[in-house]
Amino acid sequence: MTLFTILLCILNLQFVFPSVLRTWGYTFISLDIEYKKTDWLFADIKLVKIKKGDYAINGTFIFKKDITMDFLYSLKLFRSPRGNDDYKPLPFSVPQQNLETFFNGVYKDVVMEDLHKCTNLPYFQDRWNEPLKAQEYYLNMCQFNVDNWPDYLPNGFYKFDTKIYFPSGDVFVSAIATEEIEQTGLIGK
């Protein structure tokens, strides 16, 4: 599983609204990662609970071949009031786009600063247009600033379906993260 897939599963709503006070807390329920092309990727990544509402990502993934900018990325969000199979799509999503667009948009704007402190994934000032080299990438207890997440989210279960596709359109890796949102009252930021 690639780091940027996991991160967007976790941080997908971060760029939707500015925040002053948050009225909710969250608990991660699951993180399911699938990839079939073991000749392209090996991943050992875990979500680590530090304390209630405080999580980190830890592990490594190895690209066995260069990942070029013509690979594609997408994110779809769903919500269920009870967490059963009645998930409905939310209007927030990242449409399918090539990795160059992803790196120079969502990645740079949402997660790059936080990752700079805990990983060897790209960190850049202007634009990124190079392939991700075939090598091992690490995640060393990566945590993320959630101050820019929406102030209010309704109670329920949220599912973040992230996919990276080969240039041919076939799925390269898929990650589905599920979290439960519960109202906690006002939490100052």
- Taking only the tens place, the pLDDT of each residue in 64-98 is 999 999 999 999 999 999 988 899 999 888 999 99
The total of structural domains in the chain comes to 1
Residues with Cβ within 8 Å of residue 84, at least 6 apart in sequence: none
Among candidate residues 6, 145, 130, 154, the one with its CA nearest the CA of residue 73: 6
User: CA-CA distance, 13 to 9, in Å (whole number)?
Assistant: 9
pLDDT of res. 28: 79
CA dihedral 2, 7, 9, 11 (to 10 degrees): -170
User: CA-CA distance, 48 to 50, in Å (whole number)?
Assistant: 6
Q: Across the strands, what pairs with 25?
A: 182
pLDDT tens digits for range 31-74: 888 887 889 999 898 888 888 767 888 999 999 999 999 999 99
pLDDT of res. 18: 39
Cβ-in-10-Å burial (0-12, 13-18, 19+) of 93 comes to middle
Q: Summarize the confidence of residues 2-24 as an average pLDDT.
A: 49
**Dihedral sign from CA coordinates of 24, 56, 36, 64:** positive
User: CA-CA distance, 59 to 74, in Å (whole number)?
Assistant: 23
pTM for this predicted structure: 0.77
Residue 14 has pLDDT above 70, yes or no: no
Residue 187 has pLDDT above 70, yes or no: no
Q: What is the mean pLDDT of the chain?
A: 83
For residues 15 and 147, the answer to whether their CB atoms sit within 8 Å is no
Domain range enclosing 149: 3-188
pLDDT of res. 146: 64
* pLDDT bucket at 127, cuts 50 / 70 / 90: very high
Residue 21 has pLDDT above 80, yes or no: no
Among candidate residues 120, 47, 176, the one with its CA nearest the CA of residue 112: 120
Instruction: Provide the CATH number for the domain around residue 121.
Output: 2.70.220
Q: Which has the higher per-residue pLDDT, 185 or 143?
A: 143
